[in-house]
Amino acid sequence: MPRRWPLLPVLLGLGVLAGCGHDEAPRQAGATTTSSTTTSTTLAPATTAAPTTTIQSLPRPPAGPPRALITATGVVVPILGREGAGWAVTTPCERRAHVAGGTLLSGATVVLDPGHGGNETGATGANGLRESDLNLAVAKLAKAGLEAQGAEVVLTRTADYRVTLGARAALAKVLRPRLFVSLHHNGGVDGRSAKPGTETYYQRASVASKRLAGLLYQEERGVFSTYRGIQWWGNVDAGAKYRLNSRGGDYYGILRQTAGVPAAISEALFLSASRPEAELLARPDVQQAEAGAVVRAVRRFLLTRDTGGGFVTPIKRTTPAGSGGGLTGCVDPPLE
């Protein structure tokens, strides 16, 4: 596996060390040392060394056999096994294929899942911003920030192409990450809100998933709350929550299919609700701030016992959340 060196400029750009006026895990204080020298008659002025800050690295996955690979075109696919001189893999549309080689992956600390892709664009803002593009932009920024702190991060989608829910979940299953975050931006809303309409969803039966959703909610809503003069839109039960189907299981397929891996869905803001929110989300600095919130939430999940917050009892909803993620019409991207 290629060694990945820390990207300090990206880390600083994501504001991992900067406070945003909301609850955060305690940061490790910089160590400051002072020293003084004396002569037989006078005391020399004290000198203070430049402050240093030690940041605890995020864990990396243990060594193991190859379980997935990054193809020559950048697509991440689960490995089924050796096939001649190459590998048998599962494509983003859940087909069996052969690839000659690629960058082998034995595991991941985090799997980030940019929702939608290809002809499944998700919500669209009044400014034409497509949710699939926004999800991917934020995921790439969060990946860079987490890798700068030592984590091994894998994206389920690396460009604008279709990936089924089954293929996304398969990557989580084979790579065995410490956590899985599906990144989205909402469409369909109850009405105007006095606060950002951030929502996160967790696996109902998983304590770890609930904690992850609570940390994501705290960090993301805290970031968006710093932007003034925005007329927010949101649901009346906005917060960290679950949604159940008619059988009492998790409503969202990506949460059902990743059972066994702590997973959460982030619906950061309502992209399609109003032009002001869409224009806010189109700003590169806001996308970077959102990614920084994801980085901080993941860091708190991995390195602290913080429980998160914003948990609410959800309203029972019967309106479908939208179709997509299936095999119908799925066209695979080139693998080589």
Q: pLDDT for 246-287, tens place per residue? A: 999 999 999 999 999 999 999 999 999 999 999 999 999 999
pLDDT of amino acid 14: 40
Angle at 157 between CA 151 and CA 161, to 5 degrees: 165
Query: For residue 51, what pLDDT is reported?
Result: 56
Q: Please list the ranges in the chain whose pLDDT falls under 70.
A: 1-53
Residue that has been written with the tokens 């990743």 in this structure: 258
CA dihedral 12, 15, 16, 19 (to 10 degrees): 140
Write down the number of H helices and E strands in the chain.
7, 15
Strands 110-114 and 179-186, sheet pairing:
parallel
Within 13 Å and on the Cβ side, how many CA atoms surround 260?
A: 10
Say what the pTM is.
0.84
Query: Which residue, among 242, 239, 223, has the nearest Cα to 316 in the 3D structure?
Result: 242
